[in-house]
Amino acid sequence: MKTIQLGHSGLQCPAIGLGTWAMGGWMWGGSDDAAAIDAICASLDAGIRLIDTAPAYGLGHAERLLGKALKGRRHQAIVATKCGLVWHTREGTHFFDEAGVPVYRHLARASIFHEVEQSLMRLQTDYIDLYITHWQDATTPVTETMGALLDLRAQGKIRAIGVSNVSPETLQEYLEYGPVDAIQERYSLIDREIESTLLPICTEHQIAVLGYSSLAMGLLAGPMDPARQFSGDDQRAGNPRFSAGNRAKLGAFFQEVEPLRERLGCTFAQLMIAWTVARGAVSVALCGARTPQQALQNAGAATVALTDADQALVDGAAQRHLGQLFTPCSL
């Protein structure tokens, strides 16, 4: 796989990574723990190194699963986890309730030091490779947050610093107090806002860009039956992006790119991941998986090489069939 460096950290990883939000179960209609652990192991076997998780993914559940999966294999993985969405305190700003538990945006120094210890325990490790502020906290000065992260790095508990769901202005403020190695933002064929907002800053400061939701929560994985229903707390049930009408329009898009998919001998999901990597806007395309089969399919996208003409074909089909169909959503 194509390899990139995470900012100034010296950490090297392939351009495709594994995301574990769905493994936590919350907002995804539950989870299968055994399948999730197998998916992590399959990813490592296939050459995936960067595995992204967060305490908020099932109130620590995804981190615990990752810790179990990495027993005896910790050295093979670059572990990214996060801080700033908390339930041990009601300081900060209330963000949402998860399984009846109120979760707050909070990035104060004491809270970050508490969180990192909890994550280290759940992950069964003594260091975190990339520590990311999950959502920004308007009640805590950035200088306090960055100071805590720099101290954790000096202590060896984290190796690199990242921020997520950040505005250009807040990213610039972080950079006033120290180096940022990576940002993590939503990016896919139908989510390209960061190309004009955050990417110029990242290029200037040599910040790696981790793109989450590379398959747009499954929309770009291939044609989806307009009649499919999402159960339980699955967030897609109420998401207008997943309306029957939108799925039909996506069907027309997939139909147009079918000859390209067939010529390349790949799945639609692999084609979309390969497009993301070839586009060059993100350093690492994070792809969710809940089964070994999904994990291996994602990793297989590394073997799909798109020419400039192939990329133009995908872009043209997207413009014709998707247009302004999808509105930005904050998830």
Cβ of 27: how many Cβ atoms within 10 Å? 20
Strand order in the sheet with 85-86: 85-86, 101-105, 93-98
DSSP at 291: S
d(CA 92, CA 215): 32
d(CA 284, CA 301): 13
Q: φ and ψ at 273, to 5 degrees?
A: -65, -45
What is the residue whose two structure tokens read 């190695």? 181
Q: What angle do CA 208, 270, 82 make, to 5 degrees?
A: 35
From the list 4, 6, 31, the residue with the least C-alpha distance to 20 is 31
From the list 108, 157, 106, the residue with the least C-alpha distance to 131 is 157
Q: φ and ψ at 81, to 5 degrees?
A: -135, -175
Token duo for residue 301: 């996208």
Alpha helices in 161-307 (DSSP H): 168-177, 194-197, 199-205, 244-264, 268-279, 292-300
- With 0-12 / 13-18 / 19 or more C-beta atoms within 10 angstroms meaning exposed / middle / buried, residue 198 is buried
Active site residues: 57
From the list 78, 208, 178, the residue with the least C-alpha distance to 130 is 78
The residues that bridge with 208 in the sheet, in sequence order, are 182
